[in-house]
Structure 1
Amino acid sequence: MGRKLPLGRQGEERVSAAVANLKAYRSIGDKLTFGYGPTSIVQTFAHVDGLALLAISAALTEVYNESVAATVLKEILFILDLQREATPLLQSWLKIVRACAGALATTGFGVLAEDLMKKHPTETSLPSATAAEFHDSWRSRSKSRDIAKALVTLGEISRKEMESVTIVGGGDIGFLAAVAEWLFDMNIAIYESDGTPPIYPKAMSGAPIQVRFVYRDRTATSSPEKMELDLFQYTRKVIYLKDVSDVLWANKENANIENVAAGRLEWDRCLSDVFGNTYAQLKNMDNVFGKTLGYAARIFKAVATAEPGIDIETRRNWIYYTDAGSGFGFVQHLISRFPELRIFKAAMDEGAAEAVHQEARKKYGLCMTLLARSCKCAWCTPGVRDRPRTGWCAVVVVETILKAGLILSNAIVERGLTPKRSGFERLYDRQTDARAEPRETPVKSIDWVIEPERGHEILYSVDHRVRSMVDSALGLFSSHEDEIDHDSGCAFVENGICAYRMILDNLSVRNDTGITLAQIRIVPGQILWRDTPYSRIQDMYVEHADFEWINEDGRIAPEELDFERSSLLLEESTKMLSASFQITNSQGRILHVLPTYTANEVLEHHGLVTCDHRPNTFRRDRATRERIDFQIQNVHGKEVTMYRAPPGASAFAAWTVAKIPAAAPDGYDVVCNTKCMECALHTAAMLYHRSTHPLLIMRTDT
């Protein structure tokens, strides 16, 4: 197959350079690899005749779902009718697709494909699974066999067996145009169906056109086969790609993701590319729009720093504690990630500088009201219930930008990796779906960004927040549709993109960018262990048996908590890996720390303490034992243990002991703290004055 689809010279150089630039990241102890290891199929294909197969497989996954890509490869083999002893099953093709997916994610191919697909004059939006009816404005998805036929024909031209071809289809023939130009070095031209000059390239060179692409009008009364081809001086061979979008959409079991053909977006214009006229409308209200983003940044800071007036449940469920997640850091982060927003910086800074967060919340609502008045969509117009899917709501677009900013503030994204158009539309749909449930929250309230799930007690938790954040991040960079429903998951792979919790890199609470407990790294590639790929890692529960070294009353013995040495334990099943940290102290005691559970639990208790004193200070006498700050005080008749672990894994050890019933039969109620100890004591007394459990205040400044 690879020899039948020979790449052009520049195409080979592009793919080879892409493979050479692929990276791999190691977990603690170098047991896991995230990305592409030296023995991965991608590296193997790059050194044999499989380079073309690698390129076609990776290119397909830049635009289509993995199952669509696998089906296209299977159809290519049938069309070529090569001599073979056996025909690989679709599942075998799917494994090759998954091994190659993401190899071109940091190149310009996905951006070029999206640029060419969006040139279709009438297919201007992506399909929606939530729409009530099929829309002619949705981008086509061609039949898999027709895509395969077109790719085989491009291979014939690349082998000089044919001079030229004409390909007629819907919006996704822009993908084939990108393949022809970027991989096969072909001269191409794209036309509308009315015989006008080509819309791409706009300036024709003297070189002969090898492939002509014609965008079919879905609403045309005549069939594509009856088009007046002589108007364009077409070649004798014409390939017509059948649109199956309406069939797939009607079959809800095949729902949305197999119906979507979407490429990648450049960071510096992704907002205008996705939201079009609505974003232009926001730009025209530059002062209001910019201040809205700034007021939101100020409110995020109030939540992250537990300012007075932020209710305890909001503080308990906040997860964005990096420097880029609030205040002026969030403003700078938005501008850095979305350069289009730079023109609003002055207004954003003005909003972020608001002295009192309650005032910022009020002004945020007023700005959103002004945006809603100019919007006039179904959400913003009183008395209108059903929202039209063909347009964007300006209010929800602003919320989508803020939500994307928050998600990315917790993410370290591989250099060169750009978002998918479908990812932004998915995030937008999630914001609108949240509004479908009855809520007392005003439509223009910041609560739709901070806590859209507050009306659902089960969903309103740190576990759900982190899971939703990872899920949305995967969706921004891959063709990811199904929601992540694994509470204990700490790493996931979808469509060649891997997102994993940074706690797997380093068992620590913070790094130079802030609290690491919710941070994720997003990188093209897979999860590899012993050269075997896996799609998910979850917590591995290990029973703790020996706790003779714990005090009789269940309190932690500080001299035992100098845990420093850590290693990662792994266990495999047929579909996933399970992981646990094993940490050891100087006495040889062993504890098992669950990556996801522990990180989420510490997050839940991190933002509870309200304090405006200097961080990490004791303002009373304390007992110091070696490198461990440890003391017991009486609060409302209850002994409160206060503990500061030394740098390393000891904080996680203290937390694990506090939460294991075998160690502390009644369990500890925990207040995590980066503020002064007196304010932590006050918070403990306020929160747990009715609790029968012992209290532990753990300082998370390590």
Structure 2
Amino acid sequence: MSSSVGAYTGGGPSGQFQNTIDWGLIGTSTVSATLDILSRYCAAGVDHYTASIGEFLCNHWFQLSTNGQRRMTDVLESLSCNSTMGDRVWMGFGRRHIARSLSSTSQGTVCVAFCGALAECFDEEVAAEILHEMVKTINAPTQLTPSILQWKNLIKVCAGILSQSDFGSFVEELIQHNPTYWDLDTDSQSYHKADRSSCQNPKLIAEAIQAIGDVSKGKLGEITIMGGNAIGWLAAISEWLFSLSTSLEIGDGTVIYQSIPKKRIQAHFIFNTTSSNRSSGQFSYELQCVGKVYNIDDPTMLFRTRSPSDDGPMCGGRLAWANIFQRFFGSTFESLIQDERRAFESIIGSVARMLSAIVKADSKIPRRSIAAWRLYVFASHGLGFVEFITWRFPELAPLRAGFESSSICTLEEACSSYENSLTKLKITCAARGCHACSYSAERDPKSERYCQPTVVKTIIALALTLASTEIAKDLFIKSAGLWRFYHCQRKIEKTKYPPASDSGPASVGGVYSSFWNWASMAAVGSGWNRQFGDYIMLFYGNEGYNLMSTRNATAVSTGGICIYSKVLDPTTFSTLDVEKTSLVYICAGGIEHEGKPYDLIKDDDRPSGTNGPAHGALDPYDASWKHSKIYGKVRETTQGLRVSYQMALGDAESEKYITIWPAQLAEDIAYSRGWVDCDGSGCPRIMDLTRLVQDDESGKFETLGMKFCVIPNDPMAKCAAITVAFQNKSCGRVLMREGACLQCCIGTALRGDTDSNYQKAYYAEDRRALTWFIV
């Protein structure tokens, strides 16, 4: 290919259309920038030269339409950020974010828009390769060509710019017009697995993008592009950024989408669905581009096919909450809420009841299940779960009455109903030809239908995963993320944990593995490595993040998605809102501290200095902790930020203070919750507390050889007790009341119901000598 931007066979006056770039002139150009700007680029790892070249080339290639400029203006004006750690750390797009600096000019806005569009639907690696290939196609001199790594850093800082716009959902809508996305089988109620890994060779995408750019600038009048799922993204940028009149067609010429009816089409996009490929079970992912200067009849094939890998990067958009399951699972979900509605309602309602039994420590629930459980927010159980699942997923709202009626029953009835309904669903699913439900030995992963029982469990697991989150407005999960999440549930089904030996009644033990799996999906504290990993998978669409690096983390950022725990808010300690300690906020953007971006925030659990106080000498019952103050500390490291809080009496220089690690505190609170089974009526009387407990229900006493310390109903005093008890194992153990009466709390401790919770954390020779702190 020549050194032009693109070469297309044409019938115009000049024969072959060419457009060259004078790289000699670019190489002698000068660029000026203040040290403040350079410092921000340097902190983000972005080469200023790369950004300058990106701006130049994007403006050379593309011309944003009036509507495209308006959309980008709205996007940039709506970028938001939230402060934590006393305004020292910002989540989202801070005021000094590089994307804001880049978009301060019209030239930079084009670059940010295009890089943001790439990052929204492609993996960072693929997006960087596309930019690299775009430069290569115009034969840029090697010494003037930024490396792929430099392009990747530019993509990284622009990621998330469009995440809260309607661009991602528009991409997914167009991709789902691809007939191979819904490959119908003989049974119209089911379909083959949608193959979302169809990401073409970056070189093919790069050349097609340049052809679209030439149309946007009036250098070409009309183009035709053929291919697989990437066609949806190409059509989306053509319409969303450049306002080109577009059409989507299939191979036989049938128009399945047209942006502006009865208007001359500038960009034709054709999904390749040749009968030969379909009959062989292999879909074509070839991307072909035919450029026309007004009247061109001789199309030229420019590209060759590259078969995608099932584990490779995926091309996809976002799924709006309003109809997420219908858009993703299609007729399988429609059949579930219509033909199998009663079974579906019974399963969800029964699950809500079973979850409530775990959270409230029902005596029939195995202690091992309670020990593994960490999710105690209102939306995670009972009617709160029903309310949340029908609010977060509006297409389930018509089933709310059925969910609620199925949840009003005994635990035994719920377990029985759950198993019976799930068995019925498996039978009907097997009749439709589901390999998983029929236990067929002849399984073809490429033609595997969605399994209805797995779809139901995916919906349950997804609701539990999101129950403890607050999500920024108009931020949706990726289709690729939900695809991976669904297959995680398939793997869980294949590797179920067997019922534990202490599973209790048979009716409960039969569904024990489900309790265990959901518990692992809802872990907090040090378990956030799993929780954050799920959020990254869902909202970024990839599993590439090192999950173990998030151990004891309170915030992570990748791919333009920022996830952080509410425990980073200092008001958490002043109110000790236990609901808030479990909440996670998800938004577009990243993590910033002093104008510099970071990917990770973890507890600063390095050993205290020699002059630090010994926690063993501190008395968490000391009433003076009521008057303590919180001071946040942030430390930069090569691996991210490290944070901690110092709870001091008086000022920050006080010699009497307790160091609090946010993630550890959230974990300790989760460990101490959900052990007491108390309904407030008919509770057994263990001992007379009249002379032992004060009016505020605080006091110290002993009974049956065990020591108890009831902490005053003060948030700061409770924080001190929890922190000291867990950081100094010989100090004592913690049991959170959460509305339970003292008699039931004492009874729980005396029975040793929480021993499994402490068996690895405490090594005292006589555990009965440890004090029980009831907070």
How would you bin the TM-score normalised by the shorter chain?
Answer: 0.7 to 0.9
CA deviation vs aligned residue, 1:451-504 (integer Å, no higher than 9, x gap): 1288x9xx9975565432222122211122136223211111121111111101
Query: Paired residue for 1:685?
Result: 750
Q: CA deviation at 1:50?
A: 1.1
Q: Which of 518, 529, 532 does residue 470 from structure 1 map onto?
A: 532
**Residues 549/208 of structure 1: CA separation in 2 closer, same or farther (3 Å cut):** closer
2:323 paired with 1:269: yes
TM alignment of 1:397-408, pairs within 5 A: 397-408=455-466
- Matched with 2:689 is 620
1:319/1:466 contact within 8 Å kept: no
* Structure 1 residue identity aligned to 2:721: A
- Match of 1:26, SS state, is strand
User: Does the 8 A contact of 1:141 with 1:243 survive in 2?
Assistant: no
**1:57/1:97 contact within 8 Å kept:** yes
Identity of aligned residues (%): 23
User: Is 1:413–2:471 an aligned residue pair?
Assistant: yes
Counterpart check, 1:358 vs 2:425: no
Separation in 2 of the partners of 1:215 and 1:444? 50
Return 5+ residue gaps in structure 2 as ranges. 1-56, 184-191, 278-283, 500-506, 756-765
462 and 333 in structure 1: CA distance in 2 versus 1, 3 angstrom threshold: closer
Whole-angstrom distance in 2 between the partners of 1:342 and 1:326: 17
Q: 1:192 aligns with which of 250, 259, 278?
A: 250
1:388 deviates by 4.2
Query: Deviation string for 1:252-294 (max 9, x for gaps)?
Result: xxx43x2x11111121111012112221221211111112111
Larger radius of gyration: 2
Q: 1:519 aligns with which of 573, 583, 586?
A: 583
Q: How many Å apart are 1:381 and its aligned residue?
A: 2.2
Task: Report what 1:33 is aligned to.
Answer: 90
**Matched residue, 1:252:** none
AA of the residue aligned to 1:489: A
Q: Give the Cα–Cα distance (whole angstroms) in 1 for the partners of residues 89 and 247 of structure 2.
A: 46
Question: What letter is aligned with 1:569?
Answer: K
Equivalent of 2:772 in 688, 696, 699: 696
The verdict on how the C-alpha distance between 1:95 and 1:138 changes in structure 2, with shifts beyond 3 A counting, is: closer
- Residue type of the partner of 1:166? T
**CA root-mean-square deviation:** 3.5
Say whether 1:99 aligns with 2:157: yes
Greater displacement, 419-428 / 387-396: 387-396
Q: Structure 1 residues 236, 520: closer, same or farther in 2, change over 3 A?
A: farther
Q: CA deviation at 1:435?
A: 2.4
Please say if residues 489 and 536 of structure 1, whose CA atoms lie closer than 8 Å, have aligned partners that are also in contact: yes
In structure 2, the CA distance between the partners of 1:693 and 1:81, relative to structure 1 (3 Å rule), is farther
What is the distance in 2 between the residues matched to 1:529 and 1:452?
37
Aligned runs of 1:163-312 on 2, under 5 Å?
163-196=221-254, 198-201=255-258, 205-217=261-273, 220=276, 242-246=304-308, 248-249=309-310, 255-256=311-312, 258=313, 260-283=314-337, 284-312=339-367
Residue aligned with 2:602, SS: strand
Deviates more, 1:166-175 or 1:301-310: 301-310
- Residue by residue over 1:349-393, the C-alpha shift from the partner in whole angstroms, topping out at 9 and shown as x without a partner, is 111222x22221221111111111111123322564858452111
Cα 1:99–1:531 shift into 2, 3 Å: same
Q: Between Structure 1 and Structure 2, how many residues are aligned?
A: 670
CA contact (8 A) 1:140 1:261 kept: yes
CA distance in 2: counterparts of 1:28 and 1:623, whole angstroms = 40
Give the 3-state SS of the residue equivalent to 1:162 in structure 2.
coil
What does 1:327-406 align with in structure 2 at a 5 Å threshold? Answer: 327-354=382-409, 356-376=410-430, 377-382=434-439, 384=441, 388=445, 390-406=448-464
How far residue 510 of structure 1 moved from its aligned partner, in angstroms, is 10
Query: Within 1, Cα distance between the matches of 2:512 and 2:342?
Result: 22
* SS at 1:180 equivalent: helix
Q: Which residue of 1 aligns with 2:551?
A: 487
1:593-604 equivalences under 5 Å are: 593-604=660-671
Aligned-residue offset at 1:299:
1.3
Report the counterpart of residue 668 of structure 1 in structure 2: 732
Contact 1:622 1:630 in 2 (8 A): no
Q: Secondary structure at the match of 2:319?
A: coil
- What corresponds to 1:131 in structure 2? none
Deviations 1:161-182 (CA, angstroms, capped at 9, x unpaired): 1111111111221100000000
Q: Which shows bigger deviation, 312-321 or 278-287?
A: 312-321
Unaligned ranges ≥5, structure 1: 126-133, 250-254
Secondary structure (helix, strand or coil) at the match of 1:38 reads coil
Q: CA deviation at 1:42?
A: 1.6
**Structure 1's 414 and 295: CA in aligned 2 closer, same or farther, altered over 3 A?**
same
Give secondary structure in 2 for the equivalent of 1:105: coil
SS at match of 1:523: strand
- For 2:380, give the aligned amino acid: G
Alpha-carbon shift at residue 559 of structure 1 (Å): 2.9
What amino acid is the match of 1:697? F
